[in-house]
Amino acid sequence: MAIFHHNLFFTSFLIFCKILEVYSRGPVYTPPDVERLTDRFSRLSVNQSYNVSFGGSNVHVTNNGTSVDLSLDKSSGSGLVSKNKFYYGFFSASIKLPAGFTSGVVVAYYLSNANVFPHNHDEIDIELLGHEKRRDWVLQTNIYGNGSVSTGREEKFYLWFDPTQSFHDYSILWNNHHILFLVDNIPVREVIHNNAISTAYPSKPMSVYTTIWDGSEWATHGGKYPVDYQFAPFLISMTGIEMEGCISNQKNIAPSCSRRSLTSLDPIDGEQFAKLSSKQSTGLEWARRKHMFYSYCQDKNRYKVLPPECNV
């Protein structure tokens, strides 16, 4: 009987700890139903889509080429760069993040042409920032156009799931009409291409990057919580690679796909991707109301005069 009571107490204690863990991470939210953009595009193998950018010894292709592991250790981070450059398109990857103490670790899925246009580059960023709290990751989004790096356009979100337990889709839709940032197909941010932001709207061909690196100097309160390498290596796994859009050729000749009008011959820039559906609008409102905790358009300490697109 004593053994029974001991086992019952131990089981109850474990259940209590699990409940405490869930509640310590905040409320659990169920996202609204939205269209699955990731179902509209073909999956690519790692070798079809990427080359190694840096840290080759920390890059390991797995599952017959359908997925890849990237790691950060004391010697190096690691990264991939797309074989093609794109004028616009839909870009997505399913990523599982490292668990444990990840302060200062930065996982980035982004588009950039900084290597080609060092003084007036474009960039569209999804950055996942390890946090000083043991299980928290922060999602940060940002854009630059034509070298507009003096104006940070960051927005930050808490995720509504544990990104270390399973794979989740992180996606970017970029065309002449708007830029969408999506998490598990839920839009979390829309940047509409209008006159207010036109000079800072990404417009030149970009490569797609996936990287993991040490962001200690800026990612956690100016380096207050640097990467602790006693927990290394920090490993991410990526699968579900999707890249579809207007490919730039090596001779910089204007592409055959047009950015000038809505046309069924140019689907990523076409009518079905020109604006949000009603379900996507509901998802966007939900994500921003429930999970966004920072927007540059609300940061009047940083900007005495807010960037023009904030007033539209």
Give tens-digit pLDDT for 257-303. Answer: 655 555 555 668 888 899 999 999 999 999 999 999 999 999 999 99
What is the C-alpha separation between 238 and 69, in angstroms, rounded? 6
68 residue type, one letter: V
What is the C-alpha separation between 181 and 66, in angstroms, rounded? 24
Strand-pair partners of 69:
60, 237
Q: How far apart are the first and last CA of the chain?
A: 71
Cα dihedral 17/19/20/25 (nearest 10):
130
Q: Which of 276, 303, 269, 263 is nearest to 181 (CA)?
A: 276
Domain ranges of the chain: 36-249+271-311
Strand boundaries in the chain, DSSP class E: 50-54, 59-62, 67-72, 78-82, 85-96, 105-112, 123-130, 137-144, 155-158, 168-174, 178-183, 186-192, 207-214, 234-248, 292-295
Dihedral over Cα of 271, 272, 277, 281: its sign: negative
Q: 60-84 pLDDT, tens per residue?
A: 999 999 999 999 999 999 999 999 9
Strand-pair partners of 70:
59, 236
- Give the whole-number percent of the chain exceeding pLDDT 90: 74
Q: Is the pLDDT of residue 23 over 50?
A: no
pTM: 0.88
**Confidence band (pLDDT; 50, 70, 90) for 225?**
confident
Q: Is the pLDDT of residue 245 over 60?
A: yes
What tokens appear for 224 in the block?
Answer: 């207050």
89 residue type, one letter: G
Picking from 1-10, 65-74, 187-196, 266-275, which range would have the lowest pLDDT averaged per residue? Answer: 1-10
Q: What is the pLDDT of residue 224?
A: 77
Return left, alpha or beta for 100; rule: phi > 0 is left, psi -120 to 50 is alpha, else beta: left
Which residue has tokens 């417009």? Answer: 203
- Give the whole-number percent of the chain exceeding pLDDT 70: 82
DSSP 59: E
What is the C-alpha separation between 27 and 24, in angstroms, rounded? 8
Q: How many CB atoms lie within 10 A of CB 202?
A: 24
Q: Which residues are catalytic?
A: 123, 127
Q: Is the pLDDT of residue 164 over 60?
A: yes
| Exposed / middle / buried, residue 149 (Cβ in 10 Å: 0-12, 13-18, 19+) | middle
Select from 1.20.58.100, 2.60.120.200, 3.40.50.1370, 3.40.50.300 the CATH code of 36-249+271-311: 2.60.120.200
